[in-house]
Chains A and B, each alone.
Chain A
C-alpha cells in the first residue's frame, strides 16, 4: 500500500524553528507543512501590508525558509504553508530570492490568492450570515478572509509546485491536500476526507501533539521537554494513519497526548466543519502501537457545507494596561488600596470598560474560583481599560506608574503598555463567492 509521511514544522506564527529543521532532516518526509495563521494573525498582517505593500506575510518566513529550504530541496520534500498571510505573492517572491541566494535553482513556488474578500464584502452584493450577532460597523473593517479548502492546493500540487504559499485556508486542508493528491481520493469520498481531516487536525498544532501544552509534573511527565520534537504522520492510501516523531527528539506521543489534541478547539465531535468535509470524530479510536507511535482510526465525514467561513478583522479601539507589584507583609491590602485609588482616578476618564486584577490571587479565574486561595506573599496589581482613543488608553499606564509617588507604600516594578485592538468577527458567505488563483515563481 502506498504511504506518505507528512510532518508539521510549525503550529503558529511564532513557533520554534529548531524542531522544524530536525523533522525536515530526520523525518524522511515527503511533505512538510507550516501552519502559522491564527484567527487574528491575518488581520494584523493586513495592517502590516497597508503600511508596507511588500509586507504582510509571516514575520519568520525568511528565517524559516533559510533554515529548511536547503534540507527540503536536497530531500525532495515539498513545503506547504499559510505563511503568505495577507500577502502570499510577496512571500513567494521573497522565497524565490532566498532560494536563489542559497543556490537552489529550479524550485517551483506557488502562491495562492482569492481568500481576501474584503472588497466584495464591502461591495454589499454578498449574502453575509453573521455567526456572532450583529456585524461590526463596516467603517471599522480591516480585513476579511475566507477559509479556502484543498482546491487551490491540488492545482498547485498537480502543477508540480515544490513550495506552496497561501493566505487564509482551512488548517487541516494544508495536510489533507497532499493525501488527496497522492492517493487520488475523490472529492466526495467524505469518509476518506473526514479521516484525512483528522490527520490534519492532529498535526496542525505541531508540538501540542508531542507533549507540548501537556506536561504537568507528577501527573503527566514529559521527557526532554526542552527539545520537544514535532509530529509526523505516516498515512496510507486507505487513510490509515500512524503518528510518530523523530527518534531521540524530546517529548512524547501517546494515547493521552493524541486524545487531548483530537478534542482541542472541537465543539461537536460529530460535526467538525471545514470547507472540504464535515468531519465526524465521534467514532475515532486511538491505539498505541509502539514507543511514540500511535494509530488513529475511524474518522468519518459528511458532505461539505455550501458556505465558507470568513474571519473579519475590525478595529475595536485601544486597550491600555499597567501593572505594579506589592510584596511582603500586608501586600494584598496595599494592592487593594492601590486598586481603589486607581478606580477613583480613572472611573470618570471615559473608559468604556475597566478591569482590575491582583495577579497571584484572582487574575486568571476571577474571585469565585479563587475564593479559597491563600494570600500570596507578593502580588501584582494589573489595571486594564478599553478606550476609543490611544491617548486615553495610555492614561492607564501613567496612572499606574504614578502610584510610585502617589499611592500606597512600597510599590515596585511598574510597567505599562497600550495596544490597538483588532478583533475578529466570524461570518458565512456562499461558496461560489470565491475564486482562487494560483501564481507561480521559479527560483
Chain B
C-alpha cells in the first residue's frame, strides 16, 4: 500500500529547507504513519537530493507528522537550477512511499 491511500501531504520551503507535512485521512491510521514513516525512512527516500538528517515532529491530535528536510545548498529556492526550485512537488514523492 502506498502512503497516498491513507494520508495527504503539503510541501513548504524556507531557503534550502523543505517542510513536508503528512496527515492521516482517518485518525485511526495515524499510528501507522508514526510507526512506519520514520525520519530515517524519509531520509533514505529523498537521499539523492538531501544533505544532513531529516527531523520529524509528531502532532497526534492533528493526526499529522511534520518533516524537515535539508536540501543541498545548490537546491536553495532563490539560486537553484532545478525546475521545481521550491520543492513544491516533493509532497507527492513522499506519498509514493510503500508501506
Which A residues contact B (CB, under 8 angstroms)?
39-40, 132, 213-214, 216, 219-220, 256, 259-270, 281-286, 316, 319, 353, 355, 357, 359, 363-369, 382, 384-386, 421-424, 426
Contact = CB atoms under 8 A, between A and B. Distances in A.
Nearest to B88: A213
A296 to B, nearest CB: 11
A369 B78 contact: no
Task: Classify chain B's interface size.
Answer: 35 or more
Contact of A260 (B21, B76, B78): B21
B12 to A, nearest CB: 3
Given A213-B10, A260-B9, 13 more contacts: A39-B14, A269-B66, A286-B62, A316-B79, A319-B81, A353-B81, A355-B82, A363-B84, A365-B49, A365-B89, A365-B90, A368-B47, A386-B81
Contacts of B9: 260
25 contacts: A39-B14, A39-B15, A132-B15, A132-B16, A213-B10, A213-B88, A214-B10, A256-B8, A256-B25, A259-B21, A259-B23, A260-B21, A263-B23, A265-B12, A266-B19, A267-B68, A286-B62, A316-B79, A353-B81, A363-B83, A364-B84, A365-B90, A365-B93, A421-B79, A424-B15
A355 B81 contact: yes
B49 to A, nearest CB: 6
Contacts of A423: 76, 78-79
Residue of A132, A260, A284, A421 most packed against chain B (CB within 10 A): A260
Given A269-B57, A368-B48, A369-B48, A263 B8 contact: no
Interface in B12-71: 12-17, 19, 21, 23, 25, 45-49, 55, 57, 59, 61-64, 66, 68
B70 to A, nearest CB: 11
Nearest to B90: A365
A99 B84 CA distance: 40
A263 B78 contact: no
A323 to B, nearest CB: 10
A284 B47 contact: no
A259 B89 CA distance: 18
B84 to A, nearest CB: 5
A76 to B, nearest CB: 35
A267 to B, nearest CB: 5
Interface of B: 4, 8-10, 12-17, 19, 21, 23, 25, 45-49, 55, 57, 59, 61-64, 66, 68, 74, 76-79, 81-84, 88-90, 93, 96
B49 A366 contact: yes
Contact of B46 (A260, A355, A359, A369): A369
A265 B13 contact: yes
Contact of B17 (A261, A267, A319): A267
Given A259-B23, A264-B10, A269-B57, A426 B81 contact: no
Contact of B14 (A267, A282, A284, A421): A267
B15 to A, nearest CB: 6
A366 B9 CA distance: 20
Contacts of A256: 8, 23, 25
A322 B76 CA distance: 21
A267 B19 contact: yes
Residue of B16, B47, B77, B78 most packed against chain A (CB within 10 A): B78
A163 to B, nearest CB: 30
Nearest to A281: B59
Contacts of A319: 81
Residue of A40, A216, A364, A422 most packed against chain B (CB within 10 A): A364
Contacts of A368: 47-48
B25 A265 contact: no
B21 A426 contact: no
A366 to B, nearest CB: 5
Contacts of B62: 259, 262, 284-286
Nearest to B76: A423
B7 to A, nearest CB: 10
Nearest to A323: B83
Contacts of A367: 48
A419 B47 CA distance: 29
A426 B17 CA distance: 12
A255 B63 CA distance: 11
A270 B45 CA distance: 26
